[in-house]
Chain A
Amino acid sequence: MTGQARLTVSAAVATLAASCAMLPLVDKSVWILQAAFLLALQSTAGVLARRVPLARPLTVAVQALTGLLLLTVAFAGEQAVAGLLPGPEVFHEFGQLVQEGAEDVGRYAIPAPATAGIRLLLVGGVLVVGLAVDAVAVTYRSAAPAGLPLLALYSVAAGLGQGSYGPLWFLAAASGYLLLLLAEGRERLARWGRVLSGGRTAPPAPGPATAGGGRLARVRTGRRIGALALGIALAVPAALPSMQGGLFEPAGRGAAPGSGPGGTTSVKPLVALQDSLNQPENRELLRLRSSAENTRDLYLRIVALDRFDGAAWQTTERPLTELPAVLPAPAGLAAGVRTSRVDTTLTASDGYAQNYLPLPYPAEEVRAEGRWRYEQEGRALVGERGQTTRGIRYQVSSLQVEPSAAQLAGAPAPPEEILRAYTRVPSSLPPVVAQTARKVTAGSANAYQQAVMLQDWFSVGGGFQYDTQVASGTGAEAVARFLAAKRGFCIHFSFSMAAMARTLGIPARVAVGFMPGTPMADGSVSVGSKDAHAWPELYFEGIGWTRFEPTPSRGTTPEYTVAEPSPGAEPGGGPAQLPDRTAVPPSAPKGTDACPPAQKKLGECRSPAAPVEGSGPASGSPSAGTVAGVAVAALAVLGLPLLPMLWRRRVRARRLGGPGTAPAAAAPADAPVDALAAGHTLAAWRELTDSAWDYGIPPDDSRSPRGAAARIVTAGALQGAAAESAGRVAAAVEQVLYAPRPRPVPGLAEDVECVRAGLHAAAGRGARLRAVLLPRSSARLLWGLARLRSFSRRRSAAA
């Protein structure tokens, strides 16, 4: 295979490798074969055009035309003239398909069905990127910039795929690009002559530079660097959770995003939550029929996220048990609380595959088809061996817990183990979260009041806006960001409220599931993909885990958090003691005072929710440690690029500062040079060659001092005094190195400076700047470090 053919193939392979990142976006992968076939044809057209040879822009044009013809045949063959040539109808068809594709992309969750529109977008995209890569890397012979279209392709795929991205796709895309670079390097080398394999007898190796295996070793080193870079790119983000770009971790064990055949939807990964909420179409996932009088409190819980580790809220791994006939009593629920029994029959749609069973809380009895196991702490049912909710029907008997506000307010302190487990916050949680929590709940008398004040602040008083379009982020930083930006959706509200409750010492966790669906005419309730929801659960001793609803305009506010005019309240306790929550927070605009929170929450108040000034967490100042850390990091970032320059300056001063290099040595001209002066002469010589290197004349070991000086004079375009100075330094070093009794040569430092000035004058502006800021000879610093490393390694090996 010729070099160019290899390059062409590499470009196509790199494009396809990056395209593989799109595979998880669509449920069927056949499109990639089509794309590969069309790309191969397009690349072949490029090969033929280059063989003719055509001018470069013409080659690209030929390829573009080929791509258009191929797309016409593949997607609009019926509209084409003679089944091949694109006429106006073809472009019209393309326009329609693209529009449909764009709509489909918005409509379907990932993985989307491969509709004609989506397929055109995918295949067309691959062809366009393939054309760009081929043109840049092969036609214009510059492989490195070809990474940009590849990166664009990968970024689009990764951006659409969000958290469902494994390292495999990145590895594929990066390997494709490396392959392209490798092929280009090989081809470039081949243009200079035969590429020798390392197996031949090599010339002797008196110095390390000419080692016979050097060429091979260099190739191997290059490959090692590539593999290392890939490894680091994969490993570092994994090791640094805070660098995750707001990726939602899959919310529980056995997470298999997008598992199952096409057309299924799973709400398990939290990303899917945002996806579901953003879909224009509300697909029905569950249909239920309940004996409850009022289904507006019938939240369906999937799982509880009880561990906040700084990166995300997650489910703690706990042992699963057999599903008992009657579930144990819910934790913390005492006898005095009013409860009513609710029987619910649920049917999951065929398109809903979830390996957790959505249940009302707290469920007492579950009769479900299939293999389900029980997790006690979170009261969740987990499918075993691939059991999902797809199409199953199940009955649940649950309790509807209706505590009174007084019971909640009078709840004793929770048990120690619950307190310990559910009030833990990561150390990375910005202090502004706790500060805001305290500020919002100022004046509260107990945990219940604090919880209600938090809920109302989020849902009504804090000026928060419900927005599913914001980037989801779940880490500790994301909480602070959300408090500052005041835009987000249920995840942000629930996560933030739970985190703030924990900082106040209230046990809290986040439940993920569905809010009450839409009542239908036949008395059943339909739960759709848009009902996916997350809400905080706070623990009150005697009542147990209690739902709160901080998300504005979503779900229903629990009765026990709404202040009612409590006529029968006994003095000294209960809701009457609650501060008037319509006045909370104190900074809330007066105009909204008359509006009860429940109404405000549902957006029934006409007055606009003005943002609260001064109460935003953005005003929280970062800690001194953060400031110091940032300052050190900034210094490091600024100082690091200056390191070569500073090192070079120091080295130059040291080399040229010796007495032997000073002018007018007092010794008689005939006296031999002592070892010290010889050392300084050699230092001056080294400085001269390094200065030349800085200005783009690399050192050449095969040249004698005289030859090296002559080369510096020629390559550096030195004239007059500078050229003579270079000759003088070379003569001095010849004396030191080769003469039986070297004679001192005075004024070498000046000579070196003179040569530097000459090089500087002859160099262009860019070369001058580079010689000062990024001197090439600072590579010696790296070499020195490498030598030191290998030396210490050898010594440790010997030890």
Chain B
Amino acid sequence: MTTYDERASLSSLTATAERIRGAVEGVIEGKPEVVRLSLTVLLAEGHLLIEDVPGVGKTMLAKALARSIDCSVRRIQFTPDLLPSDITGVSVFDQQRRDFEFKPGAVFAQIVIGDEINRASPKTQSALLESMEERQVTVDGHTYELPRPFMVVATQNPVEMEGTYPLPEAQRDRFMARVSMGYPSPEAELRMLDAHGCSEQASPLDDLQPVAHAHEIVKLVEAVRTVHVADAVRRYAVDLVTATRHHPDLRLGASPRATLHLVRAARAAAALAGREFVLPDDVQALAPAVLAHRLLPTAQAQLGRRGAEHAVLDILQRTPVPDPSAQAWRQARRL
């Protein structure tokens, strides 16, 4: 049950989120939906995968999001020769203490920016699996907790680009959402030229100051957990995910983890909208971003140029929103 405090924390959440969004949008112009989705993933304690062609501002978005929050940030540039231990850390023998000492890897930060994640070999990428799902790292039998909040923001080029490896399904499934930046509108591109066209050095990130503290984010995440999800909405999320497992265009459907992620993201989206309950609209708006990257289209669908997003949109159009109204109405008439 929502209390007065919770409602107050919801409104403070909205205010904080607005601040972060303002800061990020100062850097990434003309992409409010992308920024909003990034925030949603942050508040839902998920990880974000930014996929697009080079040069559209993926890394800029990741860095802007990281920098607008006052927290520890590490960046990993994924290269083909990157090793798993570079990510998780390594135990080094200390001559003086005559003992092994753990040197934490790049993943030990609150926001980890994995740039060009699909340029590393699958072996290296797999090093992220444990940390992303369980928020811990196990090296040489020792388990090390990761700090809260913990978010991986990874960027990648589409698989068709040269020198890339496809992400393993297990890893894709651990990302809560995938966004595509898309090209900016001509106006936004013009504004970008005006602001940064004269010098290479003047990055907009330089002006970006943190607008929220890490512990604020932790509180916000907890507030998001209080957002109410009605049975009908849960049912709807399950229906959507189940539909991906039977769609004729899909070879691999979404996992139960996808259902969890979808509902968590929908909670965050509702909280961002200042609502204390989730609507089917939240689920519908997030379904393509949350589900599409986990799905594998059949060869026939690929030949027909019907991608996973197409399948998700198709499912959204076909799946009825559970209508408890008929039942509720009958009950009401009986009263």
Q: Could you tell me which A residues sit within 8 Å of B by CB distance?
A: 200-204, 206-207, 209-210, 675-676, 678-680, 682-683, 685-686, 701-704, 706-707, 733-734, 736-741
Chain B residues with CB under 8 A of A706 = 279, 281
Question: Interface readout for B321-335 with A: 1 if CB under 8 Å, 0 if not?
Answer: 111110011011101
Write out the residue numbers on chain B whose beta carbons fall within 8 Å of the beta carbon of A736. Answer: 325, 328
Kindly state whether residue B319 has any CB partner on chain A within 8 Å. yes
Q: In the bound complex, how far is the Cα of B239 from the Cα of A678, in angstroms?
A: 25
- CA gap between A676 and B322 in the complex, in Å: 21
Determine if B248 is an interface residue (Cβ-Cβ < 8 Å). Answer: yes
Given contacts A200-B248, A675-B335, 19 further A-B contacts (CB under 8 A): A201-B246, A203-B318, A206-B235, A206-B320, A209-B320, A679-B328, A679-B332, A682-B332, A683-B332, A686-B325, A704-B321, A737-B325, A737-B328, A738-B277, A739-B277, A740-B2, A740-B228, A740-B230, A740-B277
Q: What does DSSP make chain B's interface, helix, strand, loop or mixed?
A: helix
Contact (Cβ within 8 A) B1 A738: no
B:219-246 near A, CB below 8 Å: 228, 230, 232-233, 235, 239, 242-243, 245-246
Bound CA–CA A737/B331 (angstroms): 14
Closest Cβ–Cβ distance, residue A56 to chain B (whole Å):
33
Cα distance A83–B277 when bound, in Å? Answer: 86
Given contacts A707-B284, A737-B232, contact A702 B319 (CB under 8 A): yes
With known contacts A683-B329, A702-B317, A736-B328, A203–B247 Cβ distance under 8 A: yes
Cβ of B280 within 8 Å of any chain A Cβ, yes or no, is yes
Provide the bound-state CA to CA distance between A305 and B247, in Å: 71
Contact A738 B321, beta carbon cutoff 8 Å: no
Task: Please report the C-alpha to C-alpha distance between residue A737 and residue B329 in the assembled complex, in whole angstroms.
Answer: 11
Q: In the complex the two chains form, is A679's CB within 8 Å of B248's CB?
A: no
**Cα of A103 to Cα of B235 in the assembled complex, Å:** 78
Contact B232 A679 (CB under 8 A): no
Q: How far is the CB of A535 from chain B (nearest CB, A)?
A: 72
A91 to chain B, nearest CB (A): 57
- Contact residues in B for A202 (Cβ distance below 8 Å): 246, 248
Given contacts A201-B248, A206-B319, A701-B323, contact A741 B1 (CB under 8 A): yes
User: Across the interface, do A679 and B317 meet the contact criterion of CB distance under 8 Å?
Assistant: no
Which B residues are within 8 Å of any A CB, using their own CB?
Answer: 1-2, 228, 230, 232-233, 235, 239, 242-243, 245-248, 276-281, 284, 315-325, 328-329, 331-333, 335
A702-B321, A738-B233 known; A679-B277 Cβ under 8 A:
no
Closest CB in chain B relative to A683 CB, distance in Å: 6
State how many angstroms separate the Cβ of B14 from the closest Cβ of chain A.
Answer: 17
Pairwise interchain contact B332-A680, C-beta atoms closer than 8 A:
yes
Q: Which 3 A-B pairs have the closest CB atoms?
A: A679-B332, A701-B320, A704-B280
B242: chain A residues at CB < 8 Å are 204, 206
B325 / chain A contacts, CB cutoff of 8 Å: 682, 685-686, 733, 736-737
Contact indicator A686/B320 (Cβ below 8 Å): no
Task: Show 12 residue pairs from A and B whose CB-CB distance is below 8 angstroms, ordered by the A residue.
Answer: A201-B246, A203-B247, A203-B318, A675-B335, A686-B329, A701-B323, A702-B318, A706-B281, A734-B279, A737-B232, A738-B228, A738-B278
Measured CB to CB, the nearest residue on chain A to B247 is A203
Min CB–CB distance A33 → chain B (angstroms): 47
A704 / chain B contacts, CB cutoff of 8 Å: 279-281, 284, 321
CB of B324 within 8 A of CB of A737, answer: yes
Q: Report whether A702 and B320 are in contact in the complex, using a CB–CB cutoff of 8 Å.
A: yes
Residue of A nearest to B226 (CB): A740
Q: Are A675 and B318 in contact (CB under 8 A)?
A: no
Hey, which chain B residues are within 8 Å of A738, CB to CB? Answer: 228, 230, 232-233, 277-280
Q: Say whether B328 contacts A682, CB under 8 Å.
A: yes
Question: What is the minimal beta-carbon distance from A233 to any residue of chain B, in angstroms?
Answer: 37
Interface residues of A: mostly helix, strand, loop or mixed? helix
Nearest chain A CB to B331 CB, angstrom units: 6
CA distance A394 to B279 in the complex (A): 97
Q: Give the residues in chain A near B317, CB-CB below 8 Å.
A: 702
Chain B residues positioned under 8 Å from A675 (CB to CB):
328, 331-332, 335
Task: Determine the chain A residues whose CB is within 8 A of the CB of B280 once the complex forms.
Answer: 704, 707, 738
Which single residue of chain A is at the shortest CB-CB distance from B278? A738
CA distance A207 to B278 in the complex (A): 21
Chain B residues near A676 (CB, 8 Å)? 332, 335
Q: Which residue of A lies closest to B280 (CB)?
A: A704
Contacting residues, chain A, for B321 (C-beta < 8 A): 701-704
Contact B228 A206 (CB under 8 A): no
CB distance from A196 to the nearest CB of B (A): 9
Q: Is the CB of B248 within 8 A of A740?
A: no
Distance of A629 Cα from B97 Cα, bound (Å) = 113
- Closest Cβ of chain B: how far from A670's Cβ, in Å? 11
Q: How far is the CB of A614 from chain B (nearest CB, A)?
A: 65
> Could you tell me the distance in whole angstroms from the C-beta of A781 to the nearest C-beta in chain B?
15
A707 to B282, CA, bound (A): 11
List the A side residues contacting B246 at CB < 8 Å. Answer: 201-204
A210 CA / B320 CA spacing, docked (Å): 8
Candidate in B279, B281, B315, B325 with the most chain A CB atoms within 10 angstroms: B325
Q: Tell me which residues across on chain A come within 8 A of B316, comparing CB atoms.
A: 702
CA distance A678 to B2 in the complex (A): 20
Contacts of B323 in A (CB 8 A): 701
Chain A nearest Cβ from B285, distance in angstroms: 10
CB <8 Å contact, B281 and A679: no
- B2, B242, B329 interface centre (most CB from chain A within 10 Å): B329
CA distance A707 to B281 in the complex (A): 7
Neighbouring A residues of B245 by C-beta, 8 Å: 204
Query: In the complex, what residues of B have CB within 8 A of residue A207's CB?
Result: 320
What CA separation (Å) do A679 and B325 show in the bound complex?
8
* Pairwise interchain contact A678-B332, C-beta atoms closer than 8 A: yes
Is the CB–CB distance between A203 and B315 below 8 Å?
yes
- Cα-based distance from A676 to B324 in the complex (angstroms): 15
CB-based nearest A residue for B321:
A704
A737 touches B230 (CB 8 A): yes
Q: Complex Cα distance A200/B245, Å?
A: 14
- Give the chain B neighbours of A209 by CB distance below 8 A: 320
CA distance A679 to B329 in the complex (A): 5
Q: Smallest Cβ distance from A314 to chain B, in angstroms?
A: 58
Residue pair A204, B331 in contact (C-beta under 8 Å)? no
Bound-state CA distance A734–B325 (Å) is 10
Q: Which residues of chain A are within 8 angstroms of B333 by Cβ–Cβ distance?
A: 679
Residues from chain A with a CB closer than 8 A to the CB of B278 are: 738
CA distance in complex: A716, B207 (Å): 48
Chain B residues whose C-beta falls within 8 Å of the C-beta of A679 in the assembled complex: 328-329, 331-333, 335
- Nearest residue, chain B, Cβ from A680: B332
Partner of A678, one of B248, B315, B328: B328
Q: B281 and A682: CB pair below 8 A? A: no
- Cβ-defined contact, A741 with B328, below 8 A: no
Residues of A with C-beta under 8 A to B281? 704, 706-707
> Which chain A residue lies CB-closest to B327?
A682
Partner of B239, one of A200, A206, A686, A707: A206
- Minimum Cβ distance to chain B for residue A501 (Å): 66
Docked CA distance A707–B321 (Å): 11
Question: Does the CB pair A203–B243 fall under 8 Å?
Answer: yes
Nearest neighbor of A683 in chain B, beta-carbon distance: B329
**Min CB gap A702→B, angstroms:** 5
CB distance from B209 to the nearest CB of A (A): 37
Q: Which of A204, A210, A686 has the most CB of B within 10 A?
A: A204
CA distance A209 to B317 in the complex (A): 12
Question: Could you say which residues of chain B place their CB within 8 Å of the CB of A701?
Answer: 320-321, 323
A207 and chain B: residue at smallest CB distance? B320
Would A741 and B315 be within 8 Å (CB), given that A676-B332, A707-B281 are in contact?
no
Q: Which residue of B lies closest to A677 (CB)?
A: B332
B254 CB to nearest chain A CB (Å): 13
CB distance from B303 to the nearest CB of A (A): 13
Look across to chain B and name the residue whose beta carbon is closest to the beta carbon of A742: B277
Contact of B329 among A200, A204, A682, A734 (CB under 8 A): A682
- What CA separation (Å) do A706 and B279 show in the bound complex? 9
In the complex, what's the smallest C-beta–C-beta distance from A47 to chain B, in angstroms?
A: 30
